[in-house]
Structure 1
Amino acid sequence: MNFRSPTFTRRACVAALLCALPVTQALAQSAWPTKQPIRLIVPAPAGGASDMIARTVAESIRHDLKQAVIVENKPGAGGIISVETMLGAPRDGYMLVLSPNSLVTENPYSYSFRYDPFKDLAPIAEVASVPLVLVADPKLPVKNVADVVAYVKAHPGKISYASYSPGTLSHIKGMQFNKAAGLDMEHVGYKGSPPALTDVMGGQIQFMFDGMGTALPLAKTGKIRPLAVTSAARSPFMPDVPTLAEAGYPNLTQIMGTSVWSTPDVPADIRNRMRQLLLKAVASAEVKSQLAALGMDAGNPAQTEAELQTMLKTENERTGKALKAMNYKP
């Protein structure tokens, strides 16, 4: 009996390869992450609030995946350096950005981006939120917001306030406070909270609106004096510190969120898996406890991606209106 081997034409081979390609891609995506460490790029220096959030979240993901998760600090330029680092990398889910939401809600009004923050970036999940705290050099004779107003007016043209970066909520709150209270404090921008707080403690700068995470440990040791928080209610981490609304400035109420972003063209299954890892992290008692120790609240696991995107666009518009009302020039 004779057996004839099947004949494969070139067209049939090509067709077979094309049919197999989606399966190969799916297998590669489902294997994520196995080939290299995941990198969380943070547009802030080591020791800042964003850095502390990133390291807390990274440890949770590392535990779940049994995979290396590396936090890389690339501060400056309103997050541009961090984002462009991610945009220049393969879109395979191994490089993400963890940043305050100011990355898209505030920084576009202060920096010239070569990318569209709402088209070229896609938020995965919000992982933390925190109010800002108006803090002062503890050597100053001020105990509350009214004292600040009186002190600044008694020293016209001589008082400065710091921000952890120009154009961020830290800067905007100072501008809004200046306008609302009729003050003339001069803004001094820094690259992150640690160097700004160092100058507040040293007396080179008198005041600052800083995130609770970096302000809390210094306030506890008396190195800075907290005067008011920007949240709607008093913070459980500083229960004796009044809100700005209590001090007579309700329009300055606002909290700062921190989220994780990828590019929108990262495969959907990888984005979804990372989102589930992040939501599991912020829902865990361990992460909540670690963030609470830093004066922060964990993100809301029930928040959808669509809700987060809508919130970010709303905050962007709110910031634009606030800056326009103050004739802000970057």
Structure 2
Amino acid sequence: MQNGGGVGAVPFDRSASLRYPNSNSKKNPPLPRSSSSRARSLTDPLLQPHQLVNQEVKVDDLETNHFVLVHGGGFGAWCWYKTIALLEEAGFKVTAVDLTGSGIHSFDTNSIASLSQYVQPLTDFLEKLADGEKVILVGHDFGGACISFAMELHSLKVSKAVFVAAAMLTSGQSALDMFSQKTDSNDLMRQSQIFIYANGNDKPPTAIDLDKSLLRDLLFNHSPAKDVALASVSMRPIPFSPVLEKLCLTDSKYGSVRRFYIETTEDNAIPIALQQNLISNNPPEQVFHLKGADHSPFFSKPQGLHRILVDISRIPST
């Protein structure tokens, strides 16, 4: 059901999913990279994974070689398939998590009542890591709020946090607060939103779906057609309660984790001006620019995204 006013007038974003990681890459070979007929720009050359990693730096010598990928609202672990393949082929360990009610995680999105419940697959994973083991968290879109929540709970298990066109919020802020900052470029977002009222029209929305006919323009304006097709049959509604929840972040926990931001310059869902506003309000250690990337750089600029992730992994500990 489309909602034309009230909470529906506040722009929000979509996307989330769950993939069970390969614990043994020899027994479970990495997913094949997809090919595309689209012309590649100089910012996204066709390189082999071994060319993307400085041979003088051995993956095993890094502070951690384990990436944990966290999808955005409506997406699932499936959206990282190119990034998973590139990182695994370069020698990294990769875990892509499906958050509650996302991807293949069997839970009714409309029944998710809190951010804690939504992020539980990620926090459960971090909790089970061995003492002293650390990972690099990568969050896309609303996944930025999710990794922030996890950083506050398990700061000692996170080496670095990477926000990819993501909600990098300050304490006391919700994702809805962030999206409400959009004023000039929210028409497409408003048009795309379909609010779901599983508890009745007289109750608050339980989830947000996206108009499939507007997905390409909103999220995939520079992505290959086959990835848009994959998303159109894989995306699920976004639970509404977690979007409303304000984060509680402390300097001693969340603030102790090194943060990096990857800007997507051709993003129609979280425009570059909004990304830069998030960065100025909550400055990370370093900002990277992914030119020509839409809101889904794992589809539109997979090689460029991979290079930046590898570069971040190689930044020495302070």
Structure 2 length as normaliser, TM-score?
Answer: 0.33
